[in-house]
Chains A and B, each alone.
Chain A
Amino acid sequence: MSKGKTDDVTGTDTTGHSWDGIEELNTPLPRWWLWTLYLCIIWGILYTIAYPAWPMVSGATKGVLGWSTRANVAAEITAHEGKNADLVAQLLATDMDVLPASADLNRYAVARGGAVFRANCSQCHGSGAAGAKGYPNLLDDDWLWGGDMAEIEYTVRHGIRNEQDDDARYSQMPAFGEMLEKDEITAVVEHVVSLSNADFDAQLAETGAVVYADNCAACHGEAGLGDRSQGAPNLADAIWLYGGDREALTETVKNARFGVMPAWGPRLTEADVRAVSAYVHSLGGGE
C-alpha cells in the first residue's frame, strides 16, 4: 500500500484520482465500519433464510424458523380467549336480568358486545346504533318489541319476520290501500298526526278517528300507544321509524311496512348473543 500524493493546502493525502485538475482527497474510513457493513450483509442473508422473505410465484419463502404473523395473531387470540374463559363461563351462567348489577362482568359483556355489534349489526343499525329510516334507533327509549334485557336478547336470538327461525317475532300490518277509500286514508292519517302533533285539521281528524277505531285500534290501541306484544308501534310519541309526516304516513297506511331482522342465535355464539344484548341494553334505552 503506497501513500498517494499529499494535497498542499490541506495536508491530506489524495486518492490519486484526478479529473480536470481536481484531485480527490482521501480521508480513510475506519476499517471497522467496513467490517460492520460486511456483518450487516451476512446478517441480512441469514435473516432472509430464517424469516419469510423472498417472493416466489405462489407466495414468499416461509423461512426456516417457521415464523408467521398470521399464526402469531391466532395464538394471541387463543391466549386472550383463554384469559377470558372465566368471564365467558360467568356470562353464560348469569341470568341476563341481573347482569347489569355485576359491574365487572357487565363491563366485559358490553365491551365484547360492542365488537359483535360493529361486526354484525352496524350495517343496518349504524355504527353508532342510531339506526336509519326503517332500521330502529337503539339509543332511544322507544321499543317495538320491548326493551328490557330479556326482550332484547329474544329479538337478537330469533330476529324479526324472518323465515329461518320459527320463533322469530312476527306481525304484519295489512296494506289498507285496497281496503279503505282514498279520503278515509287521508282522514286516518290526519288522526294519527293529531296524536303527537298540535298542528292538524280538527274536523278531518275527527272523521279519521272513526276510521282509526274501526281499522287500527285493535293493534295500535285506542289512544295509539301501540302494543309491544305484537310489535305495533306507538303512534303518539315523537319517534317515527318510517317518517311521521303526512306523506310518509299515507305511504305506510296504503302499503304497510315489513321490516326484517335475521335471527342471530344460529349465527353467533351463545356468549356473543348475550354480550351484544347487554351492549344494546347499555346504550341508553335499556329498561
Chain B
Amino acid sequence: MTDQASPPSLYAPREPIFPRKVTGFFRRFKWAILVVTLGIYYITPWIRWDRGPSLPDQAVLVDLASRRFYFFWIEIWPHEFYFVAGLLIMAGLGLFLFTSALGRVWCGYTCPQTVWTDLFILVERWIEGDRNARVRLHKASWGVRKWRLRLTKWAVWLAIAVATGGAWVFYFTDAPTLARDLVSLTAHPAAYITIAILTATTFIFGGFLREQVCIYMCPWPRIQAAMMDPDTITVAYRDWRGEPRGKGNKSRRGKVKALQAEADAQAAGPGAARYSGTPYRQDDKPAAPVLSPVSETGDCIDCMACVNVCPMGIDIRNGQQMECITCALCIDACDDVMDKIGKPRGLIDYLALSDETAERAGAPVKPLWKHILRPRTILYTAIWLLIGLGLIYALFVRSDIELTVSPVRNPTYVTLSDGTIRNIYDVRLRNKSGEDRDFRLRLTSDEILRIELEGTDDLSLNIPADTTVLQRVYVTARPQDQAANSAATDLRIWVEDTTAQTRASKATTFNGKGN
C-alpha cells in the first residue's frame, strides 16, 4: 500500500457542463433534424390508414395481442419476422457505412440521447439563461430565485418526458382509444407503467446524465472507434494551423492581420479565400501555413469557444477522443470566432486524419469523393442494397394465402382395413386478406395418391379473414399402388383461393410400407 497520508480518490464527481449558445450552419442543421425526428416520433401513431372493417386503422401499429405489425400498406405476421431482422441488419450495416465514411454522425445528429439532450439544454437556456448565467446560478446558494428557476426547468423537462413516454405506448394500441383511456384513468396498468419508466429515463438521461450516458453507458463509442480509419471524415482541429495557440496582444494581432492581408493579396485571385470552410471545396491550397514565417502564434487564440459550446465538455484541440460525438457545434463556434478576428474559417473542421497529415506536410489533400468512395464503403453499400432489394422483393412476392405442411410422424403411416396406406399431415392455412375466403386443397405427385380432409367430405374450406386454420389432412395410397409399398414418395400440396384465383404450395413426402 501507499505510504501517502491520504490516497487519491478512485471516484470522480461529475463535472457539470454548461454548453454555450451557438449559431451557424451545423446548429441550424441539427435543429432541423431535431424537429423532423421528434415530429416523426410524436405524430406517427396518429396517422390513420384504412384497412377495411375487420383490421385496425392505425398506420403504424405493433399489435402484440393479435401478433401483427402494421406499417401503412404492409402487414407483417409473426412468421415473417425476417423482415424485421432484415431491417435490423440493414440498420447495423447502415451504421457501419456512415461511421466508416463520416464518423459518428449517428451520435452527433440523430441519436435519441443527443436529440432529447439538445431539447433539454434548449429549455434550460430559455429558463436559466446562457452559459455564464447558468454557471452563476449553479454556484449560487439555494434561494428563492434558484428554486423558482430550477423547479420551472424541471417542470418543463418533466412535461417533455411524459410526452415522450406517452407517445411510445401509442405505437402498441389504437392511439385515440388509449388517449381517452389514459385520461379517464381506465387504461391498462402496463400503459401507465411503461409511461412512468420512459418518463423517468427521459427526465434523468436528458436532464442530468446527458454526456455520462454516451461516455459510460453506451457501448457504441467503443465499437464505432473500431470502424473509423484515417480516411474517415470527422470533426478535427487543424493543429498545424492553430498552434502554438495564444491570446496574443492587440499589436501582435494587428501585425498578423496586416500580414494576412498581404498574403491574401498574393493569393491566386483577388477576393479568393485561402480557406473556404473545408479543404474539399478548394482547388489550390497553399502548400504551407501562410502565417508561419511571420507569426509566433497560430490561428487559435485560445478563446475556449469550442470548449464552451461542447455538450460533452471536452476540448477538441486535444485530438480525437472517445467522448466526442461529432456534433460539429465547435465548428460553428470556431468559424464564428475566425470570422471576427479576420482569419479564414475551418480551424476546426470536418476533415480526415490523413488529410490533416497531408496538409501539415504541405502535400495535396484527397478530394471528398475519394474519402467517401472507398472499397470499404462501397462494400457496405452493396451489402446494404442487396439486403434491401431482397426484402423489397420478398415483400412484393408475398401472397395473400399461405400454407405450412407438417407431416405427422407418430406413426409414419397408418394401415387401414383394406390395406390402404394413409399418411397424416397437419396443414396450416393462412388467409391474410381482409375478407373470408374459400380455400380448395389438392395435391400433385408422380404416383397415384388421394387427398381427404378430416371432418368434411369436401376439399374446400372457408377460412375467415386474417386468420390461420389448422386442418388435419389425409393422403392415401391403395395397397396395390407403388406409393403404398415404396419408402417415400414426393408430393406437393396445393391450396387455391377460389375467389381470388391465387394459389400456393408446399412440397412434402408420403411414407409407404417400404419405410
Binding site for B on A (CB under 8 A): 1-4, 13-18, 26, 28-34, 100, 106, 126-128, 130, 137, 139-142, 234, 237-239, 282, 284
Contact (Cβ within 8 A) A29 B11: yes
CB-CB under 8 A from B6, the residues of chain A are: 1-2
Contact (Cβ within 8 A) B419 A16: no
Interface residues of B in 1-35 (CB under 8 A from A): 1-2, 4-14
Binding site for A on B (CB under 8 A): 1-2, 4-14, 209, 212, 216, 408, 410-411, 414-419, 422, 424, 454-455, 472, 474, 479
Contact (Cβ within 8 A) A284 B424: yes
CB-CB under 8 A from A33, the residues of chain B are: 11, 216
CB-CB under 8 A from A106, the residues of chain B are: 455
- 26 pairs of residues in contact across A and B, judged by CB atoms under 8 Å: A1-B8, A2-B6, A2-B8, A4-B2, A4-B4, A14-B8, A15-B8, A16-B8, A18-B2, A26-B10, A28-B9, A28-B12, A29-B10, A33-B216, A100-B455, A130-B414, A139-B414, A140-B414, A140-B417, A234-B417, A237-B417, A237-B419, A239-B415, A284-B414, A284-B422, A284-B454
Contact (Cβ within 8 A) A16 B4: yes
Measured CB to CB, the closest approach of chain A to B412, in angstroms, equals: 9
Tell me the bound Cα distance from A72 to B6 in angstroms.
55
Measured CB to CB, the closest approach of chain B to A3, in angstroms, equals: 6
CB-CB under 8 A from B411, the residues of chain A are: 126, 128, 130, 137, 139
| Contact residue among B7, B414, B418, B424 (Cβ-Cβ distance under 8 Å from A15) | B7
Known: A140-B415, A238-B479, A282-B454. 18 other contacts (CB 8 A): A1-B8, A2-B4, A4-B2, A4-B7, A14-B8, A15-B8, A17-B2, A29-B10, A31-B11, A128-B410, A137-B414, A140-B414, A140-B417, A142-B416, A238-B416, A238-B417, A239-B415, A284-B474
Contact (Cβ within 8 A) A30 B4: no
Known: A238-B479, A284-B474. A29 touches B12 (CB 8 A): yes
CB-CB under 8 A from A140, the residues of chain B are: 414-417, 422
Tell me the bound Cα distance from A166 to B290 in angstroms.
115
CB-CB under 8 A from B424, the residues of chain A are: 139, 284
Contact (Cβ within 8 A) B12 A31: yes
| Contact residue among B2, B5, B418, B455 (Cβ-Cβ distance under 8 Å from A237) | B418
Measured CB to CB, the closest approach of chain A to B2, in angstroms, equals: 4
Q: Name B's interface SS.
A: loop
CB-CB under 8 A from B410, the residues of chain A are: 126-128, 130
CB-CB under 8 A from A32, the residues of chain B are: 14, 209, 212
Contact (Cβ within 8 A) B8 A30: no
Contact (Cβ within 8 A) A4 B14: no
CB-CB under 8 A from A128, the residues of chain B are: 408, 410-411
Measured CB to CB, the closest approach of chain A to B301, in angstroms, equals: 24
Tell me the bound Cα distance from A52 to B419 in angstroms.
60
CB-CB under 8 A from B419, the residues of chain A are: 237-238
Tell me the bound Cα distance from A137 to B415 in angstroms.
9
Known: A130-B410, A284-B422, A284-B454. A142 touches B12 (CB 8 A): no
Contact (Cβ within 8 A) A13 B11: no
Number of A-B contacts (CB under 8 A): 98
CB-CB under 8 A from A15, the residues of chain B are: 2, 7-8, 10
Contact (Cβ within 8 A) B408 A3: no
Tell me the bound Cα distance from A31 to B411 in angstroms.
65
Contact (Cβ within 8 A) A34 B474: no
Known: A16-B2, A130-B410, A139-B424. A238 touches B415 (CB 8 A): yes
Measured CB to CB, the closest approach of chain A to B166, in angstroms, equals: 27
| Contact residue among B7, B11, B472, B479 (Cβ-Cβ distance under 8 Å from A284) | B472
Query: B11, B14, B209, B212: which has the most chain A beta carbons within 10 Å?
Result: B11
Contact (Cβ within 8 A) B422 A30: no
Measured CB to CB, the closest approach of chain A to B200, in angstroms, equals: 14
Contact (Cβ within 8 A) A34 B455: no
Known: A33-B216, A126-B410, A282-B454. A16 touches B7 (CB 8 A): yes
Measured CB to CB, the closest approach of chain B to A16, in angstroms, equals: 4
CB-CB under 8 A from B422, the residues of chain A are: 139-140, 284
Tell me the bound Cα distance from A141 to B416 in angstroms.
6
Tell me the bound Cα distance from A126 to B412 in angstroms.
13
CB-CB under 8 A from B216, the residues of chain A are: 30, 33
Chain A residue nearest in CB terms to B474: A284
Measured CB to CB, the closest approach of chain B to A14, in angstroms, equals: 8
CB-CB under 8 A from A26, the residues of chain B are: 8, 10
Of all A-B residue pairs in the complex, the 3 with the closest CB atoms, nearest first, are A128-B410, A28-B12, A16-B2
CB-CB under 8 A from B7, the residues of chain A are: 4, 15-16
Contact (Cβ within 8 A) A238 B8: no
Contact (Cβ within 8 A) B11 A34: yes
Chain A residue nearest in CB terms to B424: A284
Tell me the bound Cα distance from A239 to B415 in angstroms.
7
Tell me the bound Cα distance from A18 to B3 in angstroms.
11
CB-CB under 8 A from A141, the residues of chain B are: 416-417
Chain A residue nearest in CB terms to B9: A1
CB-CB under 8 A from A18, the residues of chain B are: 2
Tell me the bound Cα distance from A29 to B9 in angstroms.
9
Contact (Cβ within 8 A) B11 A30: yes
Contact (Cβ within 8 A) B9 A238: no
Contact (Cβ within 8 A) B417 A13: no
Measured CB to CB, the closest approach of chain B to A121, in angstroms, equals: 14
Query: A13, A106, A126, A139: which has the most chain B beta carbons within 10 Å?
Result: A139
Measured CB to CB, the closest approach of chain B to A113, in angstroms, equals: 13
Contact (Cβ within 8 A) B416 A4: no
Chain B residue nearest in CB terms to A236: B417
Chain A residue nearest in CB terms to B415: A238
Chain A residue nearest in CB terms to B7: A16
Chain B residue nearest in CB terms to A31: B11
Measured CB to CB, the closest approach of chain A to B452, in angstroms, equals: 9
Tell me the bound Cα distance from A17 to B1 in angstroms.
6
CB-CB under 8 A from B472, the residues of chain A are: 282, 284
Tell me the bound Cα distance from A32 to B215 in angstroms.
13
Known: A239-B415, A282-B455, A284-B424. A3 touches B8 (CB 8 A): yes
Chain A residue nearest in CB terms to B1: A17
CB-CB under 8 A from A13, the residues of chain B are: 8
Tell me the bound Cα distance from A28 to B9 in angstroms.
7
Chain B residue nearest in CB terms to A138: B414
Tell me the bound Cα distance from A282 to B13 in angstroms.
71
Known: A128-B411, A282-B454. A30 touches B212 (CB 8 A): yes
Tell me the bound Cα distance from A141 to B452 in angstroms.
14
Chain B residue nearest in CB terms to A137: B414
CB-CB under 8 A from A30, the residues of chain B are: 11-14, 212, 216
Measured CB to CB, the closest approach of chain B to A285, in angstroms, equals: 8
Measured CB to CB, the closest approach of chain A to B284, in angstroms, equals: 39
Measured CB to CB, the closest approach of chain B to A4, in angstroms, equals: 4
